[in-house]
Amino acid sequence: MITTMNRIFVNPDFAEQFEDNFRNRAGLVDQMAGFVSNQLLRPSSPGDPYIVMTHWESRQHFETWVRSPEFTQGHARSGSLPREAYSGPNKLELHEVILDSTRPGMVPEPHGKPFAINHG
C-alpha cells in the first residue's frame, strides 16, 4: 500500500474556489484499479499547505493511474485558477505504508525507487 500527498500552497483569497474545484472534481480516479481513497485536507494554520492525499493498494496501481488518459482528463481543470491563487510551488510526496493499524495482517509495500512522473 502507498500514500501520496500533494502539498499545495493556496492563497487564502482563493481557498473557497480551490475547495470547490475538489468538490466538483471529475472523480475518474475513484474508478481506477487499486484506488482506495482520496482526501483533501484543509490547513488549520495560516501559511500551511492544503494536502491532497490518496491511498493505493500498490505503487504499481498509482503509477498506472498517473500514466493513464483518465489522469490527464481528471487534471484538465487543475489550471483553472489563476497563477496568483497559489502562494508557492506544490510538492508531491509518495510514501510506502509499512504499518496500518486498521490492517493488522498487511504486507508492507516493498521499498522502491524515488518517484518521478514520466508520461513518456
Q: pTM for this one?
A: 0.86
CATH assignment of the domain containing 74: 3.30.70.100
**Per-residue pLDDT reduced to its tens digit, 64-95:** 999 999 998 887 766 688 999 999 999 999 99
Radius of gyration of the chain (CA): 15
Element (H, E) at 16: helix 15-23
Whether 110 is in a domain gets the answer: no
Residue 111 lies in a domain: no
Domain that holds residue 30: 2-96
Per-residue pLDDT reduced to its tens digit, 5-54: 999 999 999 999 999 998 888 788 999 999 999 999 999 999 999 999 99
CA distance 109 to 58: 7
pLDDT > 70 in the chain, percent: 94
Q: How many domains does the chain have?
A: 1
Contacts of 29 (CB under 8 A, 6+ apart): 35, 38, 54, 65, 70, 71, 74
Task: Show the 3-state SS of 53-109.
Answer: EEEECCHHHHHHHHCCHHHHHHCCCCCCCCHHHECCCCEEEEEECCCCCCCCCCCCC
